Chain A
Amino acid sequence: MKTKMDFPSINERKPDGQGDGGQAYKVLIVDDSMFVKKQISQILTSEGFEVVGTAGDGLEGLEKYKELYPDVDFVTMDITMPKMDGISSLEKILEFDKEAKVIMVSALGKQDLVKKALMIGAKNYIVKPLDRVKVLERVLQSIK
């Protein structure tokens, strides 16, 4: 008779959102769209990441980062936002913590801004519409 013991490996995979010690990677999501925030949050929490904060513009994102630091592993950052855009927020976060891992989230068509963000020090970028597999791949590349 087959038992669960015959298939131990598939279901026991450690979620990608957890480090070697089993602790969840902590993310701050900065985006002015409630829809995008929800989407990113769903994709990441389904893999075991922990959303420790969200912000609706670059300025709030910067303040939240400072508040959460050092209990935040990475940030997803929209580019076009009111009050302070994602590139300025990225710059200021890096001034505060030069090791900060910031992943830009952009609609297709903002290549110049994405390039600028990468030159400044963003770790990676994700293009909308968001694809679950690509989001996870880019996030994992950036934090590991």
Chain B
Amino acid sequence: MRVEYINPFVEAAFDILKEVLGDEVQRGELYLKSTSQAVMGVAAFVGLAGNVEGRVLFDMTMETAIAIASEMNDETLTTLDDLGKATITELANMITAQAVTKLHDLGFTFDLTPPAIFTGENMEITDNEVEALIVPVITKQGKIEINVAVRERT
């Protein structure tokens, strides 16, 4: 997978997270996975379809999701209720919308699916015939892994 696909998502995540959390965020080491990967507990999933196809996952623990949703709502949430899920969905929405603009400017064209949220224990994701690039982003509320698996349509 070409690295230029993931950079717009990482840049957008940085911009948006800094703005909505009002704090600095740090970037961890990029890594590549070609087999099944564990999902941490809360994953916002966005599909891409066009001349680039695949999916993007924003993966975090339940604690991180609750802490981020609490910060964005300016109130303490104790569970990831409907409001919490709507908040994480909106976060994924804002990041992907901004990333897509950057990718469109680079000449890639594709549409996005609305984000879906998966929650649960012991989940994993397997991508057939496409490897995933993962960039951890560290916030005060915890780590979010931006997990991108896309390929050019042949």
Residues of A within 8 A of B (CB): 33-36, 38-39, 80, 107-111, 128-129, 131
Contact A38 B97 (CB under 8 A): no
Question: Given A80-B114, A129-B16, A129-B20, do A35 and B98 touch, yes or no (CB 8 Å)?
Answer: no
Q: How far is the CA of A35 from the CA of B20 in the complex (A)?
A: 13
Q: How far is the CA of A108 from the CA of B93 in the complex (A)?
A: 10
Within 8 A of A (CB), among B71-117: 72-73, 82-83, 86-87, 89-90, 93-94, 97-101, 114
Contact A33 B90 (CB under 8 A): yes
Q: 5 tightest CB-CB pairs across the interface, nearest first?
A: A107-B97, A109-B101, A109-B97, A34-B86, A35-B86
Q: How far is the CA of A139 from the CA of B39 in the complex (A)?
A: 41
Q: How far is the CA of A35 from the CA of B74 in the complex (A)?
A: 11
Identify the interface centre among B87, B90, B98, B101: most chain A CB within 10 Å of its CB.
Answer: B90
Residues of B within 8 A of A (CB): 16, 19-20, 72-73, 82-83, 86-87, 89-90, 93-94, 97-101, 114
Contact B94 A38 (CB under 8 A): no
Q: How far is the CA of A39 from the CA of B86 in the complex (A)?
A: 12
Q: How far is the CA of A36 from the CA of B83 in the complex (A)?
A: 10
Q: How far is the CA of A35 from the CA of B19 in the complex (A)?
A: 16
Contact B87 A128 (CB under 8 A): no
Q: How far is the CA of A131 from the CA of B94 in the complex (A)?
A: 14
Contact B98 A109 (CB under 8 A): yes
Instruction: Give the residue of B73, B99, B100, B114 whose beta carbon is less than 8 angstroms from that of A38.
Output: B73
Instruction: Give the residue of A33, A36, A39, A108 whose beta carbon is less than 8 angstroms from that of B97.
Output: A108
Complex: chain B residue closest to A106, CB-CB:
B97
Complex: chain B residue closest to A36, CB-CB:
B90
